[in-house]
Chain A
Amino acid sequence: MEPQPSKLQHRQVQETTAQEQTVQQPAGREFGSVDEMIRYDAQQNPPPAHLANRVAESVADLPKPARSWWQKWFAGG
């Protein structure tokens, strides 16, 4: 008589089945911490490429900023 599978073995079988069902998906990814997971998510979500143009066009319609700020900032402020 075969021994009953333990709960762990049963869960492993379930997980294997789930992985087989999602074979078309990229391999699973594990994160060691919440911060790591959020950092990865941030890398996957860059701003849309056209946004830079949109901002540049809108900025072009505005009066130029005070020059003193730029001098201060580029001087290392």
Chain B
Amino acid sequence: MESVATIAESVDTEPARAAQRPKWASPEFGAVYEEHARGIYYLALRFLGDPTAAEDATHDVFLKAYRKLGDFRGDSAVRTWLYRITINHCQNLLQSWQRRHLFSNADDVVWETAAAATDSPLRVLETKELGERIQKTLDALPEEYRLLLLLVADEKMSYDEVAELTRQTPDAVRGKLHRARKAFVAHFQKTA
């Protein structure tokens, strides 16, 4: 009897899954969503620090993108364009929540000159712990460092694209990233 129940379940599962698949009014936009949703959601998640807020932000970003499609001239990659909308959206949210962290230069110096070496292995025990520690670490970093680390971690983004997105030169991005990584490692070790 158990096997019959299992078969019935598996028969029901496929149509149920099909019913769950999104029905895009525009299949092309559906393809854009499928390709970029992961990156947008993760950026929003670690920028805002809250999965529900990240989900809402991702939803709103894609709606904004859909509305602004006519304005997109193809001068930049679609990914860069979507990231720009995401960054603006998240920054506006953070400002409205008054959750922006302000740090003095002295704090930067402490992080950057901390004993932690950037080439030391970063060890964690499990995924949940990793996520929590990454979030705590990113929250403690200046917004610019946080943004650069998240953008560069996206392997589809070149330094030139990150530079364009953050309105600075690629050399400036490299310099700041070096400091951002050192600050990240120093702070990450404190979260253990």
Contact = CB atoms under 8 A, between A and B. Distances in A.
A binds B: yes
A39 B152 CA distance: 9
A41 B118 CA distance: 18
Interface string A43-66: 011111111111111111010111
Contact of B41 (A41, A44, A51): A51
B31 to A, nearest CB: 10
A50 B37 CA distance: 12
Interface centre among B58, B126, B134, B153 (most CB of A within 10 A): B153
A66 B66 contact: no
Interface in B146-192: 149-150, 152-155, 181, 184-185, 188
Interface residues of B, number: 56
A35 B111 CA distance: 18
Interface string A12-51: 0000000000100110111111110111111011111111
A45 B125 contact: no
Contact of A39 (B62, B63, B155): B155
A38 B130 CA distance: 9
26 contacts: A26-B126, A30-B123, A35-B181, A38-B153, A41-B130, A45-B41, A46-B41, A47-B38, A47-B55, A47-B58, A52-B30, A53-B22, A55-B22, A55-B33, A56-B24, A56-B25, A62-B63, A64-B26, A65-B67, A65-B69, A69-B69, A69-B72, A70-B26, A70-B28, A72-B74, A73-B74
